[in-house]
Amino acid sequence: MNDIRLADDDHGQDAIRRLSEIAQHHGLRIAVAESLTSGLVASEVGKGEKAGQWFAGGVVAYLYDVKQHVLGVEPDLDPCSPECAEQLAAGVRQLLDADIAVSTTGVGGPEPADGHPPGTVYLGWATATAAGHVRLHLGDEPDDVLPAAVDAAVALLADTAERAVASAR
């Protein structure tokens, strides 16, 4: 799944509306795991209509030992990798008993980290039956990277919810 509808100028409000409607109508439970975005995705998802009925919550796992011990990420895995993004999403989905989860990990910039250029972002997604990731390059300044990563993560949540509902029919 590499095709997500990136949010437009309304800063992801369309994606939040889509996610809210789908989650409410189909009784989905949603969760997020965040490294790169440090809680910004959870803050946006929590703005969704009646989020208290469908948003299980999120885990900010910035330090690697938290990723490993709380969310089950394999030891010594590159924190800026597709595998890490997928394991973060799967771990928070299981931890919070959610139907769908997304995660954010990467390099916010302005400097490279561990051989990865700034703006390298991986979003992970997980359902009960599948997991995947999306790789993005979002520039090299944190003021650009973080909001774009949040918008893309919310759009990925809405798209994943839509696909999950469609495949259940």
pLDDT, mean of each 10-residue run, the chain (169 residues): 47 87 97 98 97 98 97 97 98 98 97 96 97 96 95 97 91
Q: Does pTM top 0.75 for this prediction?
A: yes
Q: Give 93: exposed, middle or buried? Use CB within 10 Å, 0-12, 13-18, 19+.
A: buried
Rounded CA-CA distance 54/77 in Å is 31
For residues 102 and 30, give the distance between their C-alpha atoms in angstroms, rounded to a whole number: 9
Query: 7: Cβ–Cβ under 8 A, 6 or more apart, which residues?
Result: 13, 14, 15, 151, 152, 154, 155
